[in-house]
A and B are shown apart, each in its own frame.
Chain A
Amino acid sequence: MTNLLIALVVFLTIAAMVQLVRVNELLSEITNKDTNEVTDEDNNQNGILFIIIGFGFLAFVIWQMITWDHLLLPPASSVHGAEIDGLMQVSMTLILVVFFALTPMLFYFAYKYRGKKENTAYFFAHNNRLEVAWTVIPTIVLTALIIYGLRTWDRAMNPDVSDATVIEVYSKQFDWTARYSGADNILGDANFRLVEGRNTLGVDINDEKAADDIVVREVHLPVNKPVLLKFRSRDVIHSAFLPHFRVQMNCVPGLSTQFAFTPTKTTAEMKENEGEDFEYVLLCNKICGSAHFNMQMKFVVESEEDYNKWINSQKTVQNTLTLK
């Protein structure tokens, strides 16, 4: 039935368009004018539409910025994230200024210089001064932006990790596992060939550095302490994305990657501002298969005491896997 209705609608639409075009053609026969020639009337109408719809588009943009502002990510919960937010604000302001200058100019020119039969355009083929100006000015602005961007990037990528807690984040279709490096703060060796039974990460149980490692399905972090995440993947490329911390890194099979950051706000603090339901979450951000959209792990940021209490209650590899 629905298919029939759809077919009917399609048919009627085509019929309507044929009629419209026919009317047009008959009109042209009566008035003896080519209806497809663009008239001053057409120029007027389209010029005015550029004002109405063009500026309507700008109004739509402003409406979105106001209405959806509360949906955007809250300010960063990490040290480097705050710097990235600063760069973001500067860049966003810059592009909005340029957008709100050039777009109205384009639509206004379209309206203002709409054609009239008696007018002639102004022959203006080039002007070296103007051209130099609008090459040099963007160059200067971009130079500043590039320098600012690269400094931010450099600091975000090269933090001091000498006293960072080392945690491995391990990905597979379609879940995450984490491994704390334990009291020695060194991750024991692991190899994908050792994955077997309960040893889901392939930890080398003969490596003594592995004995104190702790395998968990939920990550807790002490606030204001640097943490170094090391990523591994078991099957395909995944991407560890922690939007609230401004952290993202691909997890690549056969390759070890890492990202260090310092969380600055506890989950409890975030709940106060963002609502009771708030949780830090790790998402997968690289297409990885059918349940890609549901690959998540909870992150909790808490005070050092709470963190210590939690980590001490977890079982080490020594306790969970049989050692030889």
Chain B
Amino acid sequence: MSDHHHKETFITKYIFSTDHKMIAKQFLITGMFMALVGMLMSAVFRVQLANPGEYSVLYNLLPGGWISEDGALNPDKYLALVTMHGTILVFWVLTAGLSGTFANFLIPLQIGARDMASGFINMLSYWFFFIATVILMSSIYVEGGPASSGWTIYPPLSALPEAIPGSGTGMTLWLLSITLFVVGSLLGGLNYIVTILNLRTKGMSMQRMPLTCWALFVTAILGVLSFPVLLSCGLLLLFDRSFGTSFYLSDIIINGEALHYAGGSPILFEHLFWFLGHPEVYIILLPALGIVSEVIAVNSRKPIFGYKAMVGAILLIAFLSFIVWGHHMFMTGMNPFLGSVFTFTTLLIAIPSAVKVFNWLATLWRANIRFTPAMLFAIGTVSAFITGGLTGLILGDSALDINVHDTYFVVGHFHIVMGLSAIYGMYAGVYHWFPKMYGKMMNKTLGYMHFWTTFICAYGVFFPMHFLGLAGLPRRYYTNSSFPMFDGLSDINEIITFFALAGAVAQAIFIFNFVYSIFKGTKASKNPWKANTLEWTTPVERIHGNWPGELPVVTRWAYDYSKPGAEEDYIPQNVPLKEGEEEH
């Protein structure tokens, strides 16, 4: 790998770049675009839920054929929107957009490497993701519409075009797209792991790695172990759909006709799906928690409390995440004893999660907090992690799950603990590392406005959903007006929709700030946050190879903030220990 900044053409610099920093930006911008699409979809179906069957101007955003003659959204297309919203947010935004951006950007910079272990494979990982994106987006416009059987695509619904129109071409494209997506994320994940294990600079032992790198490292391992299972799960579904096999299908009559399938089990699909699906939750969450740990330490001007416990908690959560998938399946009729085992392992996750929350609180205690927009979002993440994590104690308990399973209680729970925590973590990361990405500062005032409006609206959207769930309302209902028992709930739905639309508009502040700052933002200094990690020792101007001369040598951990006896309230990792100074 060259130490020097070599010549780049427009194409090698901006399109087929092998520089990890550029690839990170490609992931970020593609992720942001998909986030916008996914959010607009949710705005459309929230309007339907608040005013069932009525026309809305938002429906102008939809392709032709999605609106019934009386101007309302079609029920099939409502399900299509819900499915695509879930798929886009879970995979495109919070997996690729979050891990893809920050693993690419931070791993080499924070461990002191010139680039990823393989720049070429890294480039491939983005382009697989890009093609997957194009295919997924094009599936919206095919006949029958995109996949509509929920983002979990349970067969037989997802296998039979006769059952729902979206299970035709749309579903085939979904499977194709997700296959390419998995290939892309495996290429990326292997690269992250190899880079961290092999390319750490002198002195950067594992015990000195910033928590962001630990989180991204463990996330990559989770991805490499679980995504292949999704791939095989999808392939078997493809066989059932296209070649007449019976892995998942059995005893089916559709349109009055008995199908040939015999001996398959949809429950097998669910097991395979959730074997990825649950680690996936932590693939989404852990990078955000890593980012938040870093941002909180830097802006509290204090070391992160209990560094070793934080690393231990990440490892324990990751391990447990592989043995809890059955809690998504308590109601499938699986052996109740198996349900007991999954309840036990699931509730254990509360222990490392609690440790993380207490450690963040201890970090804030007696801090000297600097409220950058990133810090606001980091505190928002901790709040969401507390609020949403606690309701997991209800859902993870099989006996209680009987009555809240698949209701809006679940929707509220995972949108707060996984959606909000991760999105806030992602925002924290973008605000924090924007100066390093683009050499410019983002506008502070707009950042504050963005955080507070988002914080208010997000709780306004997701907290009331718990009440809908406790009232018994199932998720994925086109309208709740067909059951008199839900008549009282329309007020809640209107409140939720109001906050959802306001929250969507508030994101325009961020998009504006982001785009404006890239071109016209004030110039950033080398280390604007006075942070310790190695990325802030690189020059403001982007160079391929990261450091102009020798690689920095690390002599201390990343969290020497406000260390007694030091002249300033931070000591970068490459500053040698003074004589007689102890390493934290």
Contact = CB atoms under 8 A, between A and B. Distances in A.
**Do the two shown chains form a genuine complex with each other?**
yes
Contact of B400 (A84, A193, A292): A84
B366 A124 contact: yes
B157 A287 contact: yes
Given A46-B376, A92-B394, A290-B164, A3 B57 contact: yes
A50 B380 CA distance: 10
Nearest to A232: B251
Contact of B347 (A126, A145, A154, A236): A145
Contacts of A88: 394, 400
B383 A71 contact: no
A304 to B, nearest CB: 26
Nearest to B444: A36
| Most chain B beta-carbon neighbours within 10 Å: one of A72, A83, A278 | A72
Contacts of A323: none
Given A109-B361, A288-B157, A115 B369 contact: yes
Contacts of A291: 75
Contacts of A34: 441, 522
A142 to B, nearest CB: 6
A121 B340 contact: no
A252 B302 contact: no
A91 B400 contact: yes
Nearest to A275: B484
Contact of B301 (A115, A142, A231, A247): A115
Interface string B369-391: 11110001001001100110011
A293 B480 contact: yes
Given A121-B562, A145-B393, A254-B266, A286 B406 contact: yes
B271 interface: no
B471 interface: yes
A95 interface: yes
Given A99-B390, A281-B483, A248 B405 contact: yes
Nearest to B252: A253
A257 B330 CA distance: 12
B364 A195 contact: no
Interface string A109-135: 110011110011111111100110011
B163 interface: yes
B478 to A, nearest CB: 4
Nearest to A241: B474
A192 interface: yes
A266 interface: no
A248 B407 CA distance: 11
Given A154-B336, A254-B251, A293 B331 contact: no
B227 interface: no
A61 interface: yes
Interface string B316-344: 00000000000000011100100110011
Contacts of B307: 125-126
B22 to A, nearest CB: 24
Nearest to B485: A281
B302 A124 contact: yes
A121 B403 contact: no
Contact of A158 (B308, B336, B452): B336
Contacts of A247: 402
B444 A292 contact: no
Contacts of A248: 331, 402-403, 405-406
A303 interface: no
Interface in A229-262: 231, 234-237, 239, 241, 243-244, 246-250, 252-255, 257-258
B569 A120 contact: yes
| Most chain A beta-carbon neighbours within 10 Å: one of B160, B332, B441 | B332
B362 to A, nearest CB: 7
A13 B406 contact: no
Contacts of B445: 20-21, 24, 35
B150 interface: yes
B286 interface: no
A253 B250 contact: yes
Contacts of A249: 331, 333
Contacts of A36: 441-444, 522
A234 B253 contact: yes
B149 interface: yes
A59 B480 CA distance: 28
Contacts of B252: 192, 234-235, 253-254
Contacts of B476: 287, 292-293
Contacts of B406: 239, 241, 248, 285-286
A64 interface: yes
Nearest to A84: B399
Interface stretch (B91-99, B230-238, B508-516): B508-516
B348 interface: yes
Interface stretch (B33-41, B187-195, B212-220, B459-467): B459-467
B120 interface: no
B254 interface: yes
A287 B149 contact: yes
B76 interface: yes
B488 interface: yes
| Most chain A beta-carbon neighbours within 10 Å: one of B79, B340, B355, B485 | B485
B480 A235 contact: no
12 contacts: A53-B455, A72-B471, A106-B386, A139-B351, A150-B398, A192-B251, A243-B472, A254-B251, A277-B484, A283-B474, A285-B406, A290-B164
Which 6 pairs from chain A and chain B are nearest by CB? A254-B250, A257-B333, A243-B472, A157-B336, A46-B371, A122-B366
Given A21-B516, A278-B485, 19 more contacts: A2-B57, A42-B448, A84-B403, A98-B390, A99-B386, A122-B562, A127-B362, A152-B399, A153-B340, A153-B343, A173-B163, A236-B160, A241-B406, A249-B333, A252-B333, A258-B333, A285-B406, A292-B477, A293-B75
